[in-house]
Structure formats: C-alpha cells, structure tokens
Amino acid sequence: MSFSRRDFLKAGVAGIAIGSFPGMAFASSELVKKKGQRVVVVGGGFGGATAAKYIRKWSNNKIEVVLVERNTNFISCPMSNTVLGGTRTIDDLTMSYSTLQKKYGVKLIKGEVTAIDPDKKTVMLADGHLRYDRLIVSPGVDFMFDKVEGLDAQVANESIPHAWKAGAQTVLLRKQLEQMADGGVFALAIPKGPYRCPPGPYERACQVASYLKEHKPKSKVLVLDANPDIVSKKGLFMAAWNELYPGMVEYRPNSMVLGVDVASKTAKTEFEDVKADVLNVIPPMRSGVVADMAGLADVDARWCGVDFLSYESKVHKNIHVIGDAVSAALPKSGHMATSQAKICAAAIIELMGGKQPDQAPVIANTCYSMVSGNEAMHVANVYHFNAEKMAMVSAEGGGVSAKRSELEGAFAGYWLKNILNDVLL
Amino acid sequence: MISFRMLLVVIGLGLCSVAQAAGVDKHARNMAASCSACHGTDGYSEGGMPVIAGMDKKLFVITMKDFKSGARPATVMHQHAKGYSDEQIEMLAKFFAAQKRK
C-alpha cells in the first residue's frame, strides 16, 4: 500500500464527513483521500494494468491513478495453454504489480468492488470507498454457469476446471492430465462465440495432444465445439492436428455442452452423453459481473457498448470500459485489451485537460498460438476507427500465418516477454 | 493596461504553445503504442523482436513499404504493414526515430 497509516487515518476522518450520501447505507471511510484529478481503474488484467500505467506515463504523473485488483499477482492468460503442454509453469506467467506502484506511482488497492455509484462518482469496497473523476472498468469475462446444468464455480474449482482464467485451475487441469491413464479421453468443450481468445481452445487441444503424444500416446483429445466450425485459424489448426497428432484429436462441430454429470465426468450435448477421464468445459462468457454494478452491459445483457474514441460507456458518462468486456468487432485478446487501454488512457488525459481525444485511433492485434512445444502460428490485423460506423473496422491485408513454424514459436515467446513488460514494468 | 497577472497568463500561453510544438504527435504516439506488444514499450524490445526505437526514419519507411509490397518477406509484418497508409507509416517512422537509442 502506497500511503501511510497516518494518511489512512486522516482519510478515515474525511470519509465519515462525506460518508452518509444516499445509496450508501453506512458511513464508510475513504480508502485513499482524493486530492487532485483521479482515475480509478477496476481490474488489473492486461487492459486495466496497461491503462493505469499509461495514464501515469502519458500525463507525466499529473493524474492520480488508483488500481483496484482482487488478486495478489498478475497471471498471464496468453500462453497459459503451454502449462498444459508442459513447456511453461504457472510461475513463468506470474508477475508482481509492484513496479506499477514503485516506478509509476499507481496506488494499488487489493480488494473487490462491491458497488458503483455513477452519480456520486464513487466505488465501494468491503472496507471503504474511493472517489473518482473518471472510472475505468476492465472486468474481463465471467462465466455463465447457468447455461451448463450441473456446473458451477465450485465444481470448476474442484473437479471440472475451465482453466479459462490462468491460475489455480490451469494447475489443476495439468495435474488431472498427469494423473490420467494412457488410453484416456480428454474432453474439451468450447462455448458459442463470442468468448475470450477465439483460437485459444484449439491451441489447448494442440497443447494437450502434445503432452499426450509424448507421455500417453494411446489417449485421445475430444473437442466438443458449440460452434458450427473452427472459429479461428481453421486450416492451420487442422493441419497441426492431422500432421503432428494424427488420430489423436477428434473434432465434433455443433456440439454444445448443455450439462455435466460431475461424478462420472460426463458431458451432455443435445445428441449424446460423452464420458471423459478429464473433462474441461469452457462455459459461455459475458463481461465480468462488475459491469453490472453500474448496468454497463447494455448489449444482449452480456457485453458493454462503448464510444471507440474514448471507450466511454454508452450507459454512463465518466465510466469507461476496456478489454474483453467490450462489445466490438475486435478479437477478445490480451493485445487488444492493451491497445484499447492505451486509446482510453490517451483520451482520458485529453478529456481531463478539456481537450478533444484522438479522432482517428488505429490499433493492431497479433495473436500467436503454440501448436506444439516449439511451433506457433499467428493471426494479425490492424483496426481503424470508422467515423461513419462509429466502430473499429479491420483494415485490408491482415490474416494468418502461411504455415506453423519454429520461428513463430520463438516470436510467440518474445511477444509474451515484451507485452508483459509493456503492461507491468 | 495589462495587469501583472494578465502578463503571466500571456507568457504562460506562449510557453504552452512552445511545449506543444516541441511535443510528440499524440495520434502517432497512440498508433505506435500498439506496436509495443511485440517491439517493446516505445520500441525498446527486450526479447528477440527487433528494437525499433531510434531506428532511422528512412530505413523504417523503406522497410515497411517493402513489407507492404511483398519485396521483403516476413512472417507477420507484411500483414501489419498493409494496415497503414503511406502517411501513417511516415508518422510511425517519425515517432520511433525520435526515441533515443539505448
């Protein structure tokens, strides 16, 4: 924590003085006393951490930034499938938030937001509140467990992990893979899009197959895809499955998993029951539920509509939404979240200075998928703001790799190093 | 008659416009910021990806145009290069050339 106990006590006194406004049932303490212009960022993933850093960097530290994050460390979701394959550990993907504080002066609050009051420009936490001039909500995704009968957050934590947020569930899934007997079935259920990281599930099938090929070659990866076809990099994934893991990966399109039997590890689709030895169900997704605290998910009650010049919410002024939670024709990727965060950060600095933000933002996305221990392929696109459509539109010329390669496998590693540095160091 | 305070404001405005003129083109900066996932913050790559901070403007423009035309083969850069107009490539070149070599 970047403020002293004395500051904290002073803040407490100030909090009591203003703590009785409507909507707040009790007098709460102001966690960090607001002095000048302040942005509060909720969520320290790729989007939120980048926004926090870049507001400090580009405002020459003039704007105060308070970052609220519930986890102690940052864990990268990109490349976390390689933990299943065995070429990385979760520790390799874990970074501290401390540099954001030490080098950039971002004030870190470890905790969860419990309420947002857009009128009072205040967010509530369990032990107090924070006032803001502008709020950035970077909530990532949450899972719609109610769409898969028998599945809930506890089941996912204990026996049928989705492992779609890197961390304990990634480690559990790897452990289940290690404990599976040779000849077993690893079943992977993919939800209907849009979901976080479009090529991610197919990359996961590759990483699991890579492990099985080496250690349990009689085993099988069964992919139950709710979508009618492979969503991303189709030809490249099919080539990888056929050439690297012949006979090992079985792909079934239009196979939406509607329920599970936890005890027998059975996945139920409309057409069949599939018994697995390791069951990995990735549930349908929506914007992180923090968005609902200010009613920000205005698109299908799932995703958040924004103005692409500033990422300001279509629902509330002075609240911005970035990353996977945004409703856009943009891939839900780590690189996209950082790119959106920078446009948002730049816009907020201009708006706070009474100026107009960049009217023609251009952002890029490069997304690598590791298909074996050392080979990768990519999809890359540049997106321009289109003033008529008021949307980000893909430029001509983007696309995927000609073929998978070791060179791109190396590039994927360099990408990870540079993007993590860019977000956190 | 101009008061002392007014004079300060006038001088202040003058300084601001000087600072503005010497400052970075924010549109170019914002555009360049998307490159950092691979090439590092402000082009200072720390992995194996090429460092583009401090790259000579002329070399940047020629390289990007060669990626764009296909004259120079690439795994990914031909796809990115096609996403930018020649004018935007010039802006990116100017931004990265202005970063000091480390």
- Search chain B and give the residue with CA nearest A407: B75
Q: What is the pLDDT of residues A395-410, one digit of tens each?
A: 999 999 999 999 999 9
Question: B76 vs A380: CB contact, 8 Å cut-off?
Answer: yes
Closest CA to A53 of A94, A86, A22, A97: A97
Q: What is the pLDDT of residues A57-99, one digit of tens each?
A: 999 999 999 999 999 999 999 999 999 999 999 999 999 999 9
Question: A358 vs B26: CB contact, 8 Å cut-off?
Answer: yes
Q: What is the pLDDT of residues A209-220, one digit of tens each?
A: 999 999 999 999
Give the pLDDT of residue A327. Answer: 97
Distances in whole angstroms, Cα of residue A212 to Cα of each of A173, A208, A248, B28: 13, 6, 9, 47
Mean pLDDT of A239-262: 97
Question: A417 vs B46: CB contact, 8 Å cut-off?
Answer: yes
Tell me the residues of chain B between 55 and 94 that have a Cβ less than 8 Å away from chain A.
68, 75-76, 78-84, 88
Inter-residue contact A212 to A204 (CB < 8 Å):
no
Mean pLDDT of A341-354: 98
Distance CA B86, CA B80 (A): 13
Residues forming beta bridges with residue A96, ordered by sequence position: A73
Give the pLDDT of residue B101. Answer: 82
Provide the shortest C-alpha distance from residue B2 to chain A (in Å).
26
Taking 70 as the threshold, does the pLDDT of residue A365 lie above it?
A: yes
Give the pLDDT of residue B49. Answer: 94
DSSP secondary structure string for all residues of A397-416: T-EE-SS-BHHHHHHHHHHH
Distance between terminal CA atoms of chain B?
51
Distance CA A18, CA A27 (A): 8
Of A263-267, A321-325, B1-5, the poorest mean pLDDT is in B1-5
Distance CA A113, CA A43 (A): 9
Residues of chain B contacting residue A331, judged by C-beta atoms under 8 Å apart:
none
- Report yes or no: B47 at the A interface, CB cutoff 8 Å: yes
Is the peptide bond between A194 and the residue preceding it cis, with omega within 30 degrees of 0?
yes
Distance CA A60, CA A365 (A): 27
Closest CA to B88 of B49, B61, B52: B61
Question: A395 vs B49: CB contact, 8 Å cut-off?
Answer: no
Mean pLDDT of A271-281: 97
Give the DSSP H or E segment for A6: helix A5-18
Question: A411 vs B75: CB contact, 8 Å cut-off?
Answer: yes
Question: B41 vs A342: CB contact, 8 Å cut-off?
Answer: no
Provide the shortest C-alpha distance from residue A225 to chain B (in Å).
28
Percent of all residues in chain A with a pLDDT value above 90, rounded to a whole number: 93
Residues of chain B contacting residue A350, judged by C-beta atoms under 8 Å apart:
26
Residues of chain A contacting residue B68, judged by C-beta atoms under 8 Å apart:
397
DSSP secondary structure string for all residues of chain B: ---HHHHHHHHHHHHHHHHHHHS--HHHHHHHHTTHHHH-GGG---SSSPP-TT--HHHHHHHHHHHHHTSS--SSHHHHHTTS-HHHHHHHHHHHHTSPP-
Taking 50 as the threshold, does the pLDDT of residue A264 lie above it?
A: yes
Q: What is the pLDDT of residues A190-214, one digit of tens each?
A: 999 999 999 999 999 999 999 999 9
- Search chain A and give the residue with CA nearest B31: A362
Give the pLDDT of residue A17. Answer: 39
Neighbouring C-beta atoms of residue B82, cutoff 10 Å: 20
Taking 50 as the threshold, does the pLDDT of residue A5 lie above it?
A: no
Question: B38 vs A408: CB contact, 8 Å cut-off?
Answer: no
Mean pLDDT of A117-145: 97
User: In this predicted model, which residue has the larger pLDDT, A371 or B2?
Assistant: A371
Inter-residue contact A390 to A357 (CB < 8 Å):
no
Residues of chain B contacting residue A378, judged by C-beta atoms under 8 Å apart:
75-76
Provide the shortest C-alpha distance from residue B65 to chain A (in Å).
13
Interface test with A, best of B17, B20, B25, B38 (most A CBs within 10 A): B38
- Search chain B and give the residue with CA nearest A410: B48
Residues of chain A contacting residue B40, judged by C-beta atoms under 8 Å apart:
418, 421-422
Provide the shortest C-alpha distance from residue B3 to chain A (in Å).
26
Residues of chain A contacting residue B27, judged by C-beta atoms under 8 Å apart:
358, 360
Which band of pLDDT confidence, cut at 50, 70 and 90, is reported for residue B46? very high
Counting every residue, how long is chain B? 102
Give the pLDDT of residue B24. Answer: 80
Mean pLDDT of A140-155: 98
The HSE-up count of residue A385 (CA atoms within 13 Å, CB side) is 20
Give the pLDDT of residue A14. Answer: 38
Give the DSSP H or E segment for A221: strand A220-225
Which band of pLDDT confidence, cut at 50, 70 and 90, is reported for residue B9? very low
Percent of all residues in chain A with a pLDDT value above 70, rounded to a whole number: 94
Complex-level ipTM = 0.89
Question: A381 vs B79: CB contact, 8 Å cut-off?
Answer: yes
Give the pLDDT of residue A26. Answer: 53
B16's tokens: 């601001």
Which residue among A343, A401, A418 sits closest to B30, beta carbon to beta carbon? A343
- Search chain B and give the residue with CA nearest A59: B26
- Report yes or no: B31 at the A interface, CB cutoff 8 Å: yes
Residues of chain A contacting residue B29, judged by C-beta atoms under 8 Å apart:
58, 346
The answer for residues whose C-beta is within 8 angstroms of residue A127's C-beta and 6 or more apart is: A28, A29, A31, A111
Which residue among B31, B46, B79 sits closest to A418, beta carbon to beta carbon? B46
A376's tokens: 């990768």
Question: A397 vs B78: CB contact, 8 Å cut-off?
Answer: yes
Provide the shortest C-alpha distance from residue A1 to chain B (in Å).
26
Which band of pLDDT confidence, cut at 50, 70 and 90, is reported for residue A27? low
Residues of chain A contacting residue B36, judged by C-beta atoms under 8 Å apart:
338, 418-419, 422
Inter-residue contact A376 to A357 (CB < 8 Å):
no
Give the pLDDT of residue A28. Answer: 83
The answer for residues whose C-beta is within 8 angstroms of residue B29's C-beta and 6 or more apart is: A58, A346, B95
Give the pLDDT of residue A69. Answer: 98
Question: B27 vs A358: CB contact, 8 Å cut-off?
Answer: yes
A19's tokens: 């703590």
Question: B46 vs A381: CB contact, 8 Å cut-off?
Answer: no
Inter-residue contact A381 to B83 (CB < 8 Å):
yes
